[in-house]
Structure 1
Amino acid sequence: MRESTRNHPLRDELRATLRLAGPLALANMLQMAVFAVDVIFVARLGQEALAASSLAVAIIAVVMMGLNGVTGAVAPLIAAEIGRKRNSVREVRRSVRMALWLAIALGLGAVMICFFGEWIMLLTGQNPRVSALAGHFIRVASLALVPMAIANVLRTFVSALGRPMFATVITALSILVNVLGNYALVFGNLGMPALGLTGSALASAITTSTTALAYVAVIRANRNFRRYHIFGRFWRPEWQRLVQMLRLGLPISATLIAEGGLFSGAAFLMGLVGETELAAHTVALQIAAFAFQVPFGIGQAATIRVGYHYGAGNRAAIGHAGWAALGIGIAFVCLSALAMLAIPRTIIAAYVDISDPANAAMVVLAVKYLFVAAVFQLTDGIQAIAAGVLRGVQDTRIPAVIAIVGYWLAGFATSVALGLFTSLRGVGVWIGLAVGLTVAAILLLGRWHWRGRFGLVPEQPAPISATAASAPVASLS
C-alpha cells in the first residue's frame, strides 16, 4: 500500500475519497428524500399549505444549519486526532461528548426561536393566513431539532471512523418512517386522525427521534464504535475541548446560516412576488437541493480526509485530498446540470402532477428556475467542497466572512434588485442565488489554492510513514 501511495498519491486519494464520499452523498440524498416526502404529501393539501410549509421550512432550515455548523466542528477535530494518533480513544470521546452537549443545549434554544416563527413571517410582509398556518407548523416541527442535532453528531462520529455506510442505512430507514408518519397523520390513515399540515410536522419529529435512537443502538452494538465509550461519563465537562469546538464551529455555523439564509430569504422574496411563484420555487429548490447533496457529501468526506493529513502534518497529502475531492465534485455537477437542462419537466413530475391544469403556471415557472439552477450547479458544488477542504485544515473564520460577502452582499442584494424591481420577478431571484454562489466559489477556491501563502498548512511535509491518515479509510476504525 505504501509503495502505491508513493507512486500514485493522487489516485489513491481519489479512491479513498470516493469510498468515504459515496455513502455520505447517498445518505445526504436519502435525507433529501425524507424532506421530499413531506413536500409530496403537503402538496396534495393545496398550494396554500405548500406555501405555508415552504416558509416554515425556510426558517427551520436556517436554524438547523446553525446547529449542524457548531456541532459539525467535531468532524475536523476527530479527523485530526486520528491523524495524529490512531489509538486516540480518549480524545475522540471528549470531542463527541462536547458535541452532544452543544447539540442538546443549542437545540433547545433553537426550539424557542421557532416559537416566534409566525411573528417573523408577518414582519417580512407575508400573507397573514399563510403565516398563521406556517407558524403552527413550525412550532410542531421544532420538536425535531434536538434529535436532529444529536443524530448529526453521531453520524459524524461513525463516518470519521470509516463506517459511513451506517449513515446510509439509517437514513434509508428514516424514509420509511417518514412515509408511514405522513401517510397516517396527514390524511388520517392506519387508524390515526387526519391532522393535515400539522400531521406532516409531527411526522418529521417522529422521524428524527427514531433516527437518533437508531444511531445510539448501532454505536452500542458495534464493537469498533463501542470501544470509544462516547456515552460514558456523559456529564463530565471538557471545557477546553468545548471552547475549541465553539471556536471552530461558530464560524462554520455562520457560513451555513449565511448560505441557508440566502435560500430561505429567497423563499420570503418569492412570497412577496406571488403564491404561485413561491410554490414553483419550493419544487425547483427541492430538486436543486437534492442534486447538491452529492457535492455536499464530497465536501464532508474532504473535511475528514484533509483532517487526517492535517493531524499527521503531511502537507503534500493535504493537497492531494483537497484536489481529489474538488475533481470528483466538478465531474458530478456537470452531469446534474445536464439533467436539469435536458429533462426538467420529467424531474418536476416526481414532485407534482404536471398534467393537472391547476399546476400549469407553477410548472412553467419551475422549469425556468431549474434552468438557472443548472447554470449555478458548478459554482454551488465548488463552494461546498472548497469550504469542506478548508474545514479540514481547521480554517473556518475567513470562509465565514467570504460566505457573508458572497451570499448576502452579492447574492441576496441581486435577488432583491432583480426579483422585486424588474420584470424578471422569480427568475431574477434565482439569478441572485447564482451570483452569490459564484462569488463565494471563486473566493473559497482562491483561498484553498493559496493555502500555503495564508499559512493554513504545515511548512514542511511529514514523512509518509508518519502519516496515520494514509491508511485506507476502513482501517481507521
Structure 2
Amino acid sequence: MKSELSTIARHALTVLAGQLAIMAFGVTDTIVAGRYSPAALAALSVGSAVFISVYISLMGILQALLPLWAEQRGAGRLPAVGRSLRQSLYLCLGICVIGMSVLLAPDALLRWADVPDALKADVRHYLNILAWGLPPAMLFRIYSTLNQSLGRPQLVTWLQVGSLGLKLPLSIWFTFGGAGLPALGVAGCAWATLVVNYTLLGVGLWLVRTRALYAPLQLWQRMERPDWQQIGQFLRLGLPAGLAILVEVTSFTLVALFVARQGNLAAASHQIAANLAAVCYMVPLSLSIACSARVSWWRGAGNEAHARQLVVLGWRLAALMGLLLGGLLLLGRHALASVYTSDAEVAALAASLLLWVALYHAADAVQCFCVFVLRCYRITVAPLLTYCVLLWGGGLAGGYWLAYGGIGPWSGRPTPAPFWAASALALAVTAIAFSALLWRALRPRTAPRAG
C-alpha cells in the first residue's frame, strides 16, 4: 500500500501543479481586473460565473471518460483506448455547439439573473470572446483526460504551467493596453485566455503526433463512423456526471449573478472569496483524479479488493486536506483578501466571507473525492439527484431566501454571506450522503453496478 500511496501522491501532485496553473489564470484575471477598476472586477465576477458554469459542466462529460480509459488500460486493451478516443471527438463536437450557443447569446440568462444594465455590455463582450476559446479548451480536456488515464499527467502539467507564462503578460497587456494596443478592460482577460487555449491545443496535438508514449494506442487512424452504441455508453456515464457538475458549479457560480444586484462592493468581495475557494478546490480535485485513475486501473485488472483499499485511503486523505486548508483560510483571511485588492472596503468584506469559505471547503473536499470515485463504480444518477436537492435546493435557494427574504442577521444588508453560509451547510450534508453511498459501493461485488 505504501507504493500505491507514493504513486497516487506523485500523480496527484503533478495534476495539482497543472490545476493550480490553470487556476492562476483566474487569480491573474481577478487581480488584473481589480487593479483596473471595481467595475471591471464586478463584470469579471459575473462573466466568469457564466463561463465557468458552461465550461466545467461540459468538461465534466469528457472527464467522466477517465475510468473507461483507465479500465481499458488496466485490462491491457490499449488499441481500444485509441478507438474510444476517436469516438469521443464526436461527443466533443456536440457539446462545443451547445456551449458556444450559450456563450454567444447570454442575454436571457443575464436578464433572468437581474444583472445590472451597467455590467451587461462588458459581460456580453467577455463571453462572446470566450465562446471561440471553448473548442480548443474541450479538445485539450480530452488530451488531459487521456494522459490521466495512462497515469502520465506530467506532459499536461508542463504545458499548463508553461502557459501561465503566456497568460500573465497577455492579460496585463490586453487589459491596460500599451505598445500601440488600446486598453481593453475586462475583455482583455478574455482575449488572453483565447490565445492561450489555442496555443495549448497546438502543442498538445504535436505531442500526440510525435511522442512514443501514444504509439501503442494507435490514435492516428482513419476516423470511424459514429459508433452510437459507444457514444451512448459515453453519455450514460458522462451526461449524469456532467449534469451533476453543472448543478455543483452553478450552485457556486450563480451566486455571483444573484450577488451582482447588491452592487460593486458585494460583487467584488464575492469574486475574491469565490476565487480562493476555487483554488483550494484544486487540492481535493487532484487527489480525486489520481485516485479514480488508480481505482479504475485495478478494477480493469480484476483486483477489486485492492481498489477498495485505495478508496478508503483516498477518503481519509481528502478529509484531512480539507480540514487543513480550511484552517489556513481561517487564519490567513485578512492577508489573503488584501492581496487581491487595494480597496479597504472590498478587502474587509472579502475577509469576513472567508470565515464561511473555510467551512465550505472542509465539506467540499470530501464530497469531491466521493463523487469522482463513485463514477468508477458507475454510480452517477444518485449523486446528480443529491446535488439537485441539497446544492440547488438547500445551498442556492436557501442562500437566496436568507439574503433577500428579510430573515436572519443579514437582513437588509448587501452582503453575499447568506449564500456562503447556506452553501457550506448544504455541502456538509452532501459529503455525509456521498460517503454513505461510497461505503455501500465498496461492498464486495463481481461486476460494476449501474446507478
Instruction: Using structure 2 for the length normalisation, give the TM-score.
Output: 0.94
Give 1:6-155 correspondences, 5 Å limit: 9=1, 11-83=2-74, 85-86=75-76, 88-155=77-144
For residues 149 and 445 of structure 1, what CA distance do their matches in structure 2 show? 30
Among 342, 346, 354, the residue aligned to 1:362: 346
For residues 437 and 190 of structure 1, what CA distance do their matches in structure 2 show? 47
Q: Which residue of 2 aligns with 1:198?
A: 187
Aligned-residue offset at 1:130: 0.6
RMSD (Å), alpha carbons: 1.8
Q: Which residue of 2 aligns with 1:158?
A: 147
For residues 403 and 222 of structure 1, what CA distance do their matches in structure 2 show? 40
Give 1:251-400 correspondences, 5 Å limit: 251-353=240-342, 359-400=343-384
Q: Which residue of 2 aligns with 1:458?
A: 445
Among 397, 418, 443, the residue aligned to 1:428: 418
Aligned-residue offset at 1:105: 2.5
Work out whether residues 122 and 128 of structure 1, in 8 Å CA contact, stay in contact via their aligned partners in 2.
Answer: no
Structure 2 portions without partners, runs of 5+: none
Aligned-residue offset at 1:399: 1.4
Identity of paired residues, percent? 25
Structure 1 portions without partners, runs of 5+: 1-8, 354-358, 462-477
Q: Deviations over 1:372-423 (max 9, x none)?
A: 1111222100000001111122221211111212211221122112222234
User: How many residues are treated as equivalent by the alignment?
Assistant: 442
For residues 64 and 222 of structure 2, what CA distance do their matches in structure 1 show? 21
Work out whether residues 414 and 431 of structure 1, in 8 Å CA contact, stay in contact via their aligned partners in 2.
Answer: no
Aligned-residue offset at 1:90: 1.9
Q: Which residue of 1 aligns with 2:428?
A: 438
Q: Which residue of 1 aligns with 2:178?
A: 189
Aligned-residue offset at 1:190: 4.2
For residues 340 and 89 of structure 2, what CA distance do their matches in structure 1 show? 35
Work out whether residues 13 and 320 of structure 1, in 8 Å CA contact, stay in contact via their aligned partners in 2.
Answer: no
Aligned-residue offset at 1:104: 2.6
For residues 72 and 418 of structure 1, what CA distance do their matches in structure 2 show? 35
Q: Which residue of 1 aligns with 2:162?
A: 173
After TM superposition, the structure 1 stretch with the greater mean CA deviation from structure 2, 179-188 or 137-146, is: 179-188
Local SS of the residue matching 2:441: coil
After TM superposition, the structure 1 stretch with the greater mean CA deviation from structure 2, 330-339 or 380-389, is: 330-339
Residues 221 and 199 (structure 1), Cα distance of their counterparts in 2 relative to 1, 3 Å cut: same
For residues 452 and 340 of structure 1, what CA distance do their matches in structure 2 show? 33
Read off the aligned partner of 2:147 and give its amino acid letter. V
Read off the aligned partner of 1:32 and give its amino acid letter. M
Work out whether residues 118 and 134 of structure 1, in 8 Å CA contact, stay in contact via their aligned partners in 2.
Answer: no
Work out whether residues 255 and 400 of structure 1, in 8 Å CA contact, stay in contact via their aligned partners in 2.
Answer: yes
Read off the aligned partner of 2:124 and give its amino acid letter. G
Aligned-residue offset at 1:221: 2.2
Q: Deviations over 1:89-112 (max 9, x none)?
A: 221012212223222331122111
Q: Which residue of 2 aligns with 1:356?
A: none
Local SS of the residue matching 2:400: helix
For residues 335 and 385 of structure 1, what CA distance do their matches in structure 2 show? 16
Aligned-residue offset at 1:460: 8.8
Read off the aligned partner of 1:186 and give its amino acid letter. T
Q: Does 2:194 align with 1:208?
A: no
Local SS of the residue matching 1:122: helix
Q: Deviations over 1:129-183 (max 9, x none)?
A: 1122111111111111111111111011112112111121111111112113213
For residues 62 and 251 of structure 1, what CA distance do their matches in structure 2 show? 15
Read off the aligned partner of 1:37 and give its amino acid letter. T
Read off the aligned partner of 2:32 and give its amino acid letter. F
Work out whether residues 414 and 429 of structure 1, in 8 Å CA contact, stay in contact via their aligned partners in 2.
Answer: yes
For residues 179 and 291 of structure 2, what CA distance do their matches in structure 1 show? 44
Among 400, 409, 413, the residue aligned to 1:416: 400
Q: Which residue of 2 aligns with 1:218?
A: 207
Work out whether residues 360 and 420 of structure 2, in 8 Å CA contact, stay in contact via their aligned partners in 1.
Answer: no
Work out whether residues 183 and 189 of structure 1, in 8 Å CA contact, stay in contact via their aligned partners in 2.
Answer: no
Aligned-residue offset at 1:452: 4.5
Residues 311 and 165 (structure 1), Cα distance of their counterparts in 2 relative to 1, 3 Å cut: same
Residues 99 and 436 (structure 1), Cα distance of their counterparts in 2 relative to 1, 3 Å cut: farther
Instruction: Using structure 1 for the length normalisation, give the TM-score.
Output: 0.89
Local SS of the residue matching 1:350: helix
Aligned-residue offset at 1:118: 3.0
Work out whether residues 82 and 217 of structure 2, in 8 Å CA contact, stay in contact via their aligned partners in 1.
Answer: yes
Q: Deviations over 1:279-334 (max 9, x none)?
A: 10001110111011010111111221111122233221121121122222222222
For residues 348 and 337 of structure 2, what CA distance do their matches in structure 1 show? 10
Aligned-residue offset at 1:205: 1.0
Local SS of the residue matching 1:44: helix
For residues 33 and 219 of structure 1, what CA distance do their matches in structure 2 show? 26
Local SS of the residue matching 1:450: helix
For residues 412 and 159 of structure 1, what CA distance do their matches in structure 2 show? 32
Work out whether residues 17 and 321 of structure 1, in 8 Å CA contact, stay in contact via their aligned partners in 2.
Answer: no
For residues 81 and 115 of structure 1, what CA distance do their matches in structure 2 show? 38
For residues 315 and 178 of structure 2, what CA distance do their matches in structure 1 show? 46
Q: Deviations over 1:331-386 (max 9, x none)?
A: 22222112111111222233223xxxxx1111111111111111122210000000
